[in-house]
Amino acid sequence: MSAAPPGPDDFRAAGHELVEWVARYMEDVERFPVQSPVAPGWVRAQLPPHAPEQPEPWDAIVADLDRVVLPAVTHWQSPMFFGYFPANASGPSILGDLVSSGLGVQGMLWATGPACTEIETHVLDWLVELLGLPEHFRGHGVIQDSASSANLCAVLAARDRRTATVALDRLRAYTSTQAHSSIEKAIRVAGLRRDQLRTIDVDDTYALRADALRDAVERDVAGGLVPFLAVATAGTTSSLAFDPVDAIADVCDAHDMWLHVDAALAGAAAIAPELRALVNGGIDRVDSWCFDPHKWLLTNFDCDVLYLADPSALVDSLSVVPEYLRNQASESGAVIDYRDWQVPLGRRFRALKLWFVLRRYGAEGLREHIRRDVRAARWLAARVDGDDRFARLAPADLSLVCFAHRDGDDATERLHRRINESGRALVTHTRLGDRYAIRVAVGATSTEQHHVEALWHLVDELA
Amino acid sequence: MSAAPPGPDDFRAAGHELVEWVARYMEDVERFPVQSPVAPGWVRAQLPPHAPEQPEPWDAIVADLDRVVLPAVTHWQSPMFFGYFPANASGPSILGDLVSSGLGVQGMLWATGPACTEIETHVLDWLVELLGLPEHFRGHGVIQDSASSANLCAVLAARDRRTATVALDRLRAYTSTQAHSSIEKAIRVAGLRRDQLRTIDVDDTYALRADALRDAVERDVAGGLVPFLAVATAGTTSSLAFDPVDAIADVCDAHDMWLHVDAALAGAAAIAPELRALVNGGIDRVDSWCFDPHKWLLTNFDCDVLYLADPSALVDSLSVVPEYLRNQASESGAVIDYRDWQVPLGRRFRALKLWFVLRRYGAEGLREHIRRDVRAARWLAARVDGDDRFARLAPADLSLVCFAHRDGDDATERLHRRINESGRALVTHTRLGDRYAIRVAVGATSTEQHHVEALWHLVDELA
């Protein structure tokens, strides 16, 4: 067998076969147990101990997708997947990724990929309009791999705006007890200690209490410390709570603090004008704001969008220009080099998938996706509310329903386990207050009303 | 027109069309000017100011790939691309990415994607054997998006191993003047000041001088500072210089410093046993080591592989476990949760593309890719050496040839510009010592001997 590299014809043949494979997966995904039933070690036990010396035929590779991979996949794309967050793969997005992989372009500099850079800026400007974001976000958007990375960028920009004059260990950041774990992780990555992040109490809707924030900030200032950052969440992970951004901005203004908003899941909902009051409150006053099209805007992972009121602080933090990256376009000042807007140097042409999604669905198609999910989640919340066995534990204004069994944590946990072990649906959990809560996150690409109804029947049957 | 979401049949039809589009791109890429000739702003001027309200047909989208994207692409996949580093897209890799996008799996936890986690660990164990890496790297590999991120992980693990007992601002890190810019960026991201990174002199092969490192470390220790990290480079960006890892390890051992090796480009060459002495020197003694399959192992961006002698320091740095991510498998201790081995939480099923590449090429196919490139680069180095107009500025042991015009920097810079403006090839530059150097990085997926010969004829013609 020749060791000659597989060329375009090999790609063509296998490519058509794998497009069919993926299409069949989309059609069949509902039939698999949503949570993979395999035990730790099962996958590795199926694989040979050594890499092959000689090329293997595609048939063997594709056969292993069915034999080894599918049984060991937790099916995030199942319409019965209600865990964690919806992970919105879609045909147009998958194909945008295909073209990105095929072009194999590096977008670290404008010069290394003009289309990669300019389509990104342009499509993110489209989103400014579609989501009702502030005009000063135009030209100031950048795609990150995830909200974790966007949150880290905000921490770094906010930190370095202060460290010229303030010692690192005097800085203090603030977020709610409900903020995503990536905030704490970003703080630690950035060289701050865990205790330099103050976690502020929430009210009974799990939204940050602005009065508690003000007290904490003032206490720290009085103690000679320097508040430099508040991270608000528009749609928390546990319960989709919305922090009062406007009131938080008042505190930030008074103390020259950076205000970042993590709208990872909920941000996409702003595409529906009737949901903007909930999602975008106070957004005119924030320094940075991010959301994940890969969570709820029909774009597959990885695609987070970060906007900055003024990107210069971030660029100041992250710009390092070695000789081998110098070029005329960069030095002209007429272009964006996105390398300076992210932690890694290299970058994929991720804007392609967002461009494909916006064009193939159109804004109306995306709005319908959001509205369908919100309708279905509210329907489910009403069923929970009308059933004596259950207590809803948080507002369900958008797409997440959190509830518990009234018989207590053991009953809720047992119900949770039974749902997942049935293989017919997947839900995950959190703690709200002191209670174990089942989280139902509606919004997978293929989830329709009848799937949510099927989940409810399952809950009813297993409770 | 219906706003119903495009389903499997829409994906199928467009998928087949785009597989053909990518295959044609592979066939035609040589015909495009390698460096995009468009001016800043050209791409955006081709695009409508607003996103479409209604879905657009695929025809319109695909037409724009030809009309807007291709003219504005710098063709990293051209066989005449010799700039920066080779960006190794290949059919098997692109299709691994396609399946990854199609499955839409999250690999943050074992439980959220058992196949995603275990195939990754397994394939990285295959690579331990194929690259002749230390046995203690088995089970200790993790895929990152890029060497930037792998380098950052090493900085964080090394930092936090010390900050329990040492104040952050007493820490000092060491690397050579030739180290990649991502080292400085990682240091700054991690909350250290630029001057906490010492850049050590190099010898006349541009390799770090171990004696200068020892002096610098001892000077800092005498001054009450705490050396915590040395970053060696196996194949520098500017000239593919190899730092003396063994001698650096002596210094690190004496001062309990973490030793990280950045082998981003050159690491792949270890698949050829005859190149291992050059590439893997001292590797048994390092704490962490990374290389980029997306640079020279026929895997498209993004795919960096990081190995750790002991991953626990990294996990200690990066582990944050909120309630909503707790699960039975994690708590059993029987699985890897790769979320704790990287900065972001979310992760794609990147191992698929590496698995496809290793199987479809076989180890022999990958060795042949490396050997062909090394032969071609050495051929070019011999041409340069035999021509009175040029001076080679660094060793060309592997796949990179750096040279200058003997008439001085202006002549070299003019030659560089003429090559790129011809559209027939792309090279980039660096500075070596005080001279402007043209860098020729051989190794694009489709580059063959005759392409390097064509480059040489072009150089000869334009010099």
Digitized pLDDT (tens) for each residue of chain B, 463 residues in all: 344 558 999 999 999 999 999 999 999 999 999 999 999 999 999 999 999 999 999 999 999 999 999 999 999 999 999 999 999 999 999 999 999 999 999 999 999 999 999 999 999 999 999 999 999 999 999 999 999 999 999 999 999 999 989 999 999 999 999 999 999 999 999 999 999 999 999 999 999 999 999 999 999 999 999 999 999 999 999 999 999 999 999 999 999 999 999 999 999 999 999 999 999 999 999 999 999 999 999 999 999 999 999 999 999 999 988 888 888 888 888 899 999 999 999 999 999 999 999 999 999 999 999 999 999 999 999 999 999 999 999 999 999 999 999 999 999 999 999 999 999 999 999 999 999 999 999 999 999 999 999 999 999 999 9
Q: What is the pLDDT of residue A5?
A: 60
pLDDT at B3: 43
What whole-number distance in Å separates Cα of residue A176 and Cα of residue A202?
Answer: 7
CB contact residues (below 8 A), chain A span 2-31, against chain B: 3-12, 14-16, 18-27
Check CB contact under 8 Å for B189 and A343: yes
Chain B CA closest to residue A318: B185
Query: Which pLDDT value is given to residue A208?
Result: 98
* Minimum distance, in Å, between the CA of residue B18 and any CA atom of chain A: 7
**What part of B 109-168 touches A (C-beta under 8 Å)?**
110-119, 121-123, 126-127, 129-130, 145-146, 148-149, 152, 156, 159-160, 168
Q: Give the per-residue pLDDT at B310.
A: 96
Give the neighbor-by-neighbor strand order of the sheet with A81-82.
A81-82, A426-432, A435-441, A400-405, A390-392
This complex has an ipTM of: 0.96
Query: Strand pairing of A197-200 and A141-144?
Result: unpaired
Q: What residue ranges of chain B are covered by domains with CATH 1.20.1340.10? A: 8-75
Using an 8 Å Cβ cutoff, are B149 and B294 in contact?
Answer: no
Contacts of A105 (CB under 8 A, 6+ apart): A112, A113, A115, A116, A348, A349, B73, B74, B76, B87
CB contact under 8 A, B121 and A323: no
Q: How far is B57 from chain A (nearest CA, A)?
A: 7
Q: Do B58 and A360 touch (CB under 8 A)?
A: yes
Give the tens place of pLDDT for each residue, A115-124: 999 999 999 9
Tell me how close the Cα of A337 comes to any Cα of chain B, in angstroms.
12
What is each CA distance from B426 to A404, B372, B389, in whole angstroms?
62, 20, 20
B269 vs B280: CA distance, rounded Å = 9
Please calculate the CA angle B208-B427-B41 and round it to the nearest 5 degrees: 115
Task: Give the nearest chain A residue to B24 (CA atoms).
Answer: A8
Cα distances from A85 to residues A292, A296, A440, A459, B329, in angstroms, run 11, 8, 9, 19, 19
| Residue B67: φ, ψ to 5° | -80, -45
pLDDT of A13 strictly over 50 = yes
> Among the CATH numbers 1.10.580.10, 1.20.1340.10, 1.20.1250.20, 1.20.58.2030, which is that of B8-75?
1.20.1340.10
Name the burial class of residue A273, with classes exposed (0-12), middle (13-18) and buried (19+) by CB atoms within 10 angstroms of its CB. Answer: exposed
For residue A372, the chain B residue with the least C-alpha distance is B4
Q: Is A441 helix (H, G, I), strand (E, B) or coil?
A: strand
Amino acid letter, B345: L
Strand, coil or helix: A57:
coil
Burial class from Cβ neighbours inside 10 Å (0-12, 13-18, 19+) for residue A264 reads buried
Enumerate residues 6+ apart whose C-beta is below 8 A from A141.
A120, A121, A124, A125, A127, A128, A305, A306, A307
Q: What is the pLDDT of residue B5?
A: 59
pLDDT of residue B388: 97
The whole-number pLDDT of residue B323 equals: 84
Q: Does domain A105-347 have CATH number 3.40.640.10?
A: yes
Q: How confident is the model at residue A2 (pLDDT cuts 50, 70, 90)?
A: very low
Using CA atoms, how far residue A210 sits from A171, A246, A249, B397, in Å, is 20, 9, 9, 62
Residue intervals of chain B classified under CATH 3.40.640.10 are 96-355
The beta-carbon neighbor of A98 closest among B3, B98, B159 is B98
- Adjacency order of strands within the sheet including B81-82: B81-82, B426-432, B435-441, B400-405, B390-392
Model pLDDT, residue B1: 38
The mean pLDDT of A39-51, rounded to a whole number, is 98
B50 CB-contact burial (10 Å; exposed 0-12 / middle 13-18 / buried 19+): exposed
Specify the CATH number of the domain B96-355: 3.40.640.10
State percent of chain A over pLDDT 70. Answer: 99
Instruction: Report the pLDDT value the prediction gives residue B325, as an integer from 0 to 100.
Output: 83
Inter-chain touch A53–B112, beta carbons under 8 Å: no
Judged on CB neighbours under 10 Å (0-12, 13-18, 19+), B323 is middle
Question: Is A302 close to B190, i.e. CB distance below 8 A?
Answer: no
Give the pLDDT score at A332: 87
Distance of CA A448 to the CA centre of its chain: 21
pLDDT of residue A321: 84
Interval A207-220 mean pLDDT: 98
Q: What average pLDDT is seen over chain A?
A: 96
Q: With helix as H, strand as E and coil as C, how does A283-305 read?
A: HHHCCEEEECHHHHCCCCCCCEE
Contact A191 B169 (CB under 8 A): no
pLDDT in tens, A122-175: 999 999 999 999 999 999 999 999 999 999 999 999 999 999 899 999 999 999
